[in-house]
Amino acid sequence: MRRGLTPSQTVGPFFHPALLHEGWNDLTARGAAGERVVIEGKVLDGAGAPVNDAMIEVWQASAAGRYDHPEDRQERPADPNFHGFGRVGTSKDGSFRFRTIKPGPVPGHGDAVQAPHLNLTIFARGLLKQLLTRIYFPDEPLNSGDPILSALSPDARATLIARPAGRGGAERTLRFDIVLQGKDETVFLEV
């Protein structure tokens, strides 16, 4: 190594003890308005092995389609009980689970309407920087006109749409696996 240069380092594995807090995986805990949804899945590496020390951040709009952010000045009602941010870590088998609400559609570039979606940031050991992706909802009519989904092939688009998990109950449960590379790799976005 040459003197004066700092070698690149990968992210992690410090998420569980340092950055995860109890309750951050329930974005509805304060009584948010909207349809309750549980998202569960696994983070998998390129060989299909579980990533047991990843962290996922969730950032989303409210049921009315408004972000809890000072730059969102839409004339849509704010939900004082919903902040739209959460974190969840993966367990030993790479699984994660969080509870949220289905967001409303939000405006995009050039006034294009974006289908309801959750923004995810994935941090994991072996990554030089975080990965960004989205979760879209199955059977959502606005998916067909969403600018990001419309720009993808059908196979790539499928990696961004959650699947029904087949469980009954008061909350809808959706499955969304995150594949970091290789076959069925999740589409990651450059921002």
* Residue 7 located in a structural domain: no
Residue 139 lies in a domain: yes
Distances (CA, A) of 139 to 73, 85, 132, 161: 29, 24, 23, 9
Helix (H, G, I), strand (E, B) or coil at 141: helix
Residue-level pLDDT at 4: 58
Range of lowest pLDDT (77-91, 104-118, 126-140, 163-177): 163-177
Q: Identify whether the C-beta of residue 140 lies closer than 8 Å to the C-beta of residue 5.
A: no
- Number of domains within the chain: 1
Rounded-to-integer distance, Cα 55 and Cα 91, Å: 10
Q: Is the pLDDT of residue 23 over 70?
A: no
| Confidence band, pLDDT 50/70/90 cuts, at residue 126 | confident
- CB-based contacts of 20, cutoff 8 Å, min separation 6: 55, 87, 88, 89
pLDDT band at 1 (very low <50, low <70, confident <90, very high): very low
Q: Is 184 within the bounds of a domain? A: no
Task: Give me the domain span that covers residue 93.
Answer: 15-179
Digit-coded pLDDT (tens) for 32-90: 999 999 999 999 999 999 999 899 999 999 999 999 887 887 888 889 999 999 999 99
pLDDT tens for 77-109 read 889 999 999 999 999 999 999 999 999 999 988
